Copies of this chain bind each other. A is one copy, B any other.
Amino acid sequence: MAVDLELAPKTKRPAGEPCCEPVVYPDIDRERAARMAEVAKALGDPVRLQLVDVLRKHAGKVCVCELVPLFDISQPTLSHHLKKLRDAGIVDSERRGLWAYYYVLPDALQELTAWLS
């Protein structure tokens, strides 16, 4: 049900009539939340999710030249997505000759996965 908080009356509730039972505080502190949010944000795109899916299931490092044909996007756009994943610490790359090879960093998704589970 859509409820706009702005519509909620700003009046105090009468003394002795608590609106609700008390809640717990978040277990995760701001710093940990920021780390996990950065990872989640990087995964917040279908192409990046599929990129991570491919890289995770491939044991080794995957050449960019093999990734481009998998997606119906330009190489610069793919590069942009890989950069977002690298900036979030999810993937890294190394150069072999003419090509860049990408791989998922060990434990990159562990903290978020553990929190979600």
Report A's interface with B, CB cutoff 8 A. 1-6, 8-9, 11, 13, 19-28, 30, 33-34, 36-38, 40-51, 53-54, 57-58, 60, 62-67, 70, 75-76, 78-79, 82, 86, 92-95, 97-101, 109, 112-113, 115-117
Q: Shortest 6 CB-CB distances between A and B: which pairs?
A: A41-B44, A5-B79, A20-B63, A33-B46, A40-B43, A3-B100
Q: Check if B45 sits within 8 Å of A37, measured CB to CB.
A: yes
Instruction: Check A64–B113 contact: CB distance below 8 A.
Output: no
Partner of A27, one of B22, B34, B57, B95: B57
- The complex places the Cα of A79 from the Cα of B102 at a distance, in Å, of 39
